[in-house]
Structures are given as structure tokens and as C-alpha cells.
Amino acid sequence: MPACCRVAAKGPNWIKLERLLNYDLRLHWKPYVYRYSPEVQHSGFESFTVRFAHGFYPEHHTAYGFNGLGIYDSGNCWIRNVKVVNADNAIGAFRSEFVSVRGVTVSVEKPRYTKSTFPANGHHALWGSGAVLTEFSGFRITTQYMHDITFSVFAENLVFANGQMLDGNIDFHRGGPHNNLASNINLGRGTRAFHSGGNTVRGTHAAANNTVWNVGPASKRQVALPGCDFGPHLVFVGSYAPPTPGAEGDSNSGDRRRRSLLASPQLTGWCRQRRWWVEDVPTTQQLLPRDLYAAMVATRRNRIRG
């Protein structure tokens, strides 16, 4: 699994990386260090509209190829202030690093669904697959897609933040998406918050260390969590209803310190066997910081300056 990181210092038989990696690394695995040199970088799309002629989205995995913008096998690229109208798949980042997608809007002029796809007007609206250190922020999805925002196949340090949707879902699409963040997202009606797809041969919907922070419907009501088999070591902070099935977990799992922490009225203890951390925030209270991603960026900048 590749990891992109600056080398902060080096010696005759060692290097120091700028930041911690998300996973273990051992010399007997014979890791290699390569110069980061993507074929395409420092390129982007901004300030225009991609509008397809109206057509129907006939079946889940059958479409006519009305696809908007995709960044593939690239680095240090961007999509900014772009509108995509009447697309099967609107905007995606694939096998790429250091990509920013900001201020985009996905919409349709009139319904595109058929009897087989109702009420979805397309397949993927915003999609990160194999996307690393990539950001989708300030987005608007004014219609409903089969998968509104998607974390897929080894997505790592992928962020969706500060978005608005009509009746959105956060799709963990299997294939090991790990160490990702969904932050400060308005789901709209919020009837299908964690409806997720992906081929079952690719494992659980989510791998470890994904965080969902301040994500919920416009009405501020609680959102039902996915079942405990959704994935391991997940973090949910917000206003949530219990997951089903298997919400009770195992009262004997975890160490003594963890059990004492779970005595807090804010920590639910749901899916304890899967090592979930679910922190319940009453719907009458505002979670702070509202956007965890912005807080993390600010903290990192302060550390660098210090």
C-alpha cells in the first residue's frame, strides 16, 4: 500500500517522515521509498458548467456514459466552482493524491430515474476511490443519486466536509476505505444516511478509523446508525439512534479504562465488540467544533508555525 509523505530529515540508514503513517511499517517487509512523481499534476478545472442533454438513468449498473469530471492517477490537482447537470456520474477522484474539490454543485433539470432506479437520478454524485489526502468541501447535491458521496477502495485521508444534500447518503463502498472523515454535512431529509453499496467480496463497508462528525438531517433529529457489521473501529459523534442489529455489543469487551470511559452519559457503548466510539450529542445542543476538518487544519498550521 503506497503512502505519500515528505521526508523531513535523513541519515546514512534512516529517514524521518513529516507525519505519522496510518498503519504499521516494518523493515522486514522490505518497504521501498520512491520519489513522488505523478504523470499529471498542478492541473485543474474551475468556474464552468458541464451540462448533459436530459436522459434517463435506466438501471443501477447501466448508464449511457454521461460522466462529468474525473481526476485519475494524478497529484496536486483541483476542481473548483464547477456545476454538473444531468450526469450519470458527476465528479470523482481515483488513485490520486492531494486533490481538492471545492464549491461544486450536482443537479438535474428534471427527474432521470426509471421504475428500476427510483428515486435515484444517477449513480455516483461525488466519489473518491483510491483517493488519498483528498478533500471534497463546500459541495451541494440538489437531487438524489444512488450514492451521493462515496468512500471506496483504499480511500485514505479522504474528507467530505461542509456539504448540503437533498436526501443524502454517506456511502462506504467496501474495499477497505480507512482513516477518512465526513464532517459537518447536512443530509437534507436524512432518511438513508448510511445506505451503502459495493461488491460483498470486498469485505465490510468500512475499514478501520473512519470518523463521522456532525452529520445529520436538516430537521436536527437523530439519525439511525448502520449495523455493527458495517466495519471496525469507527467513530460517530453527533445525534444518533441505535444501530440494528447487534447494537448492544459485549459488556465484557475492552479493557478497564475503556469500560470506565463508556460510563460517561455521552458515550453509548453501541457496537462495543467492533470497537466503535459513539458519542451522543443531544439534538438541542450544537456540537463544537462544528467542522472537525477545519479545526484539524487550523491545529496543523499552528503546530507548523510553532
State how far the Cα of 42 lies from the Cα of 168, in Å rounded to an integer.
Answer: 31
> Is pLDDT at 262 greater than 50 in this prediction?
no
**Stated pTM of the model:** 0.91
Q: What is the DSSP letter of 200?
A: G
Which of the listed ranges 60-64, 232-236, 245-249, 281-285 does the model predict with the highest average pLDDT?
Answer: 232-236
Q: Give the whole-angstrom CA distance, residue 31 versus residue 146.
A: 39
Q: How far apart are CA 131 and CA 104, in angstroms?
A: 18
Task: For residue range 197-221, list pLDDT tens digits in order.
Answer: 999 999 999 999 999 999 999 998 9
pLDDT in tens, 143-176: 999 999 999 999 999 999 999 999 999 999 999 9
H or E segment to which residue 93 belongs: strand 89-94
Q: Domain map of the chain by residue range? A: 43-305
Looking at residue 267, what is its pLDDT? 79
Note the pLDDT of residue 249.
37
Residue 245, pLDDT score: 62
Average pLDDT, the chain: 91
pLDDT tens, residue by residue, 62-84: 889 999 999 999 999 999 999 99
Residues 6+ apart with CB under 8 A from 32: none
How many Cβ atoms are within 10 Å of 62's Cβ, its own excluded? 11
- Does 252 or 122 have the greater pLDDT score? 122
Confidence (pLDDT) at 168: 97
Q: In the predicted model, what is the mean pLDDT of residues 87-94?
A: 98
